[in-house]
């Protein structure tokens, strides 16, 4: 039974697939705390699963549940070339018995991106590369039609798994953190920093925490273009999410306004674009390593950089939290057995 269902019985009707997520710990980061003269704690969602951790897994439990409820055995999803969401969908989709197709847009080719592609292929994902994100919607439509003509009924999962179904996973995560606070396994903090990409993680966590009366500021550090990650998009997602929850159980509290009030968008770390490294991100990477935390260019380094920039002045002497959303699972065995990269993908990497 999910945390949602155990608290609001009507939510047992929400379709759900158990992907083996474990409760992730909250740990102090001693070196960062000393540097900033502020207690920095970390919600270790890099440890959500030994197969592949990070924030995407929580969303997939509900997305795959909905796909199964609709009778789908094939899923289509989208992302950038090195998308963590696509990788998680590929790995857990295979485990759950789905055929996974991914429409991929451009991203700066780093070693991290290359490794994610190899893991996608090792998980038997079917990759469909497009030269621009403008081509993603028509490519998804064409692929959907093609698969239906083959007798399949694909379920489409949006970028980042961020709709009112996927975000349920982070309502659950908010309830998980609230339980840890109640037990004394995590401290109350003034602020919680997390990356803002497609918005599902931020919106879900805000709703889950607000439902438990927790009013810590959620600092959503924007890592994607403002056209995608903005207050209007978050409001739309929060409202849709609460509506879905109340449809299944009318006792779920109306926390739309509270959840939105608790969110502050920080656009200072975006830099020159999605996936492009920044000096502040490089500094955050080095600092995090001292506390045994691995971050990457696109999401987590920028989110942590936002905390580093603000914590000393805004929260000096207090407690803040960084919600770590990157998987820490060892992918080297998967990379080792990856097939040869298709020429179409390799040409793209070489050309960029």
**pLDDT, tens digit, 9 for 90 and up, residues 190-248:** 999 999 999 999 999 999 999 999 999 999 999 999 999 999 999 999 999 999 999 99
The answer to whether the 3-54+163-324 and 56-162 domains have the same CATH topology is yes
Instruction: Report the C-alpha gap between 110 and 72 in whole angstroms.
Output: 34
Per-residue CA distances from 18 to 8, 35, 328 (Å):
18, 40, 20
Buried b (16+ CB within 10 A) or exposed e, 201-213: bbbbbbbbbbbbe
Q: How confident is the model at residue 352 (pLDDT cuts 50, 70, 90)?
A: low
Domain ranges of the chain: 3-54+163-324, 56-162
Q: What pLDDT does residue 76 have?
A: 98
Which residues have C-beta within 8 Å of that of residue 18, sequence separation ≥ 6? 61
Which residues have C-beta within 8 Å of that of residue 174, sequence separation ≥ 6? 204, 205, 206, 207, 208, 209, 210, 211, 212, 214
Structure tokens at 91: 């790995």
Global confidence as pTM: 0.95
- Across the chain, mean pLDDT equals 95
56-162: CATH topology: Rossmann fold (3.40.50)
Share of the chain above pLDDT 90, in %: 90
Q: How confident is the model at residue 346 (pLDDT cuts 50, 70, 90)?
A: confident
> Could you report the per-residue pLDDT of 277-331, keeping only the tens digit for each?
999 999 999 999 999 999 999 999 999 999 999 997 898 889 999 999 999 999 9
Structure tokens at 295: 């971050």
Instruction: Report the C-alpha gap between 77 and 74 in whole angstroms.
Output: 10
Instruction: Report the C-alpha gap between 33 and 259 in whole angstroms.
Output: 28
Residue 108, SS3 per DSSP: coil
3-54+163-324: CATH topology: Rossmann fold (3.40.50)
């Amino acid at each position: 039974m999910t945390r949602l269902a155990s608290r609001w019985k009507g939510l047992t009707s929400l379709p759900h697939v158990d992907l083996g997520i474990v409760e992730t710990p909250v740990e102090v980061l001693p070196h960062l705390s000393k540097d900033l003269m502020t207690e920095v704690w970390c919600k270790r969602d890099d440890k959500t699963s030994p197969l592949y951790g990070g924030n995407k897994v929580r969303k997939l439990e509900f997305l795959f549940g909905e796909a199964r409820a609709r009778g789908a055995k094939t899923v289509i999803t989208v992302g950038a070339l090195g998308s963590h969401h696509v990788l998680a969908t590929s790995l857990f989709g295979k485990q759950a018995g789905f055929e996974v197709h991914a429409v991929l847009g451009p991203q700066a080719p780093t070693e991290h991106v290359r490794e994610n592609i190899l893991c996608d292929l090792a998980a038997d994902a079917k990759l469909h590369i497009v030269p621009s994100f403008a081509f993603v919607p028509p490519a998804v439509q064409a692929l959907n039609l093609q698969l239906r003509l083959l007798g399949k009924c694909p379920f489409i999962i949006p970028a980042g798994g961020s709709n009112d179904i996927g975000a349920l996973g982070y309502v659950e995560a908010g309830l998980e953190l609230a339980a840890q606070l109640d037990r004394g396994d995590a401290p109350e903090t003034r602020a919680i920093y997390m990356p803002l990409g497609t918005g599902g993680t931020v919106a879900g966590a805000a709703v889950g925490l607000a439902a438990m009366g927790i009013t810590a500021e959620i600092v959503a550090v924007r890592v994607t273009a403002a056209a995608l990650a903005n207050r209007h998009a978050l409001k739309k997602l929060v409202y849709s999410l609460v509506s879905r929850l109340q449809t299944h159980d009318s006792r779920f509290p109306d926390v739309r306004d509270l959840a939105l009030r608790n969110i502050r968008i920080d656009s200072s770390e975006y830099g020159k674009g999605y996936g492009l490294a920044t000096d502040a991100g490089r500094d955050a990477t080095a600092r995090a390593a001292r506390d045994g935390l691995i971050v990457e260019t696109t999401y987590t380094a920028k989110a942590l950089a936002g905390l580093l920039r603000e914590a000393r002045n805004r929260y000096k002497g207090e407690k803040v939290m960084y919600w770590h959303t990157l998987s820490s699972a060892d992918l080297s065995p998967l990379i080792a057995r990856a097939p040869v990269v298709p020429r179409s993908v390799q040409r793209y990497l070489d050309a960029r």
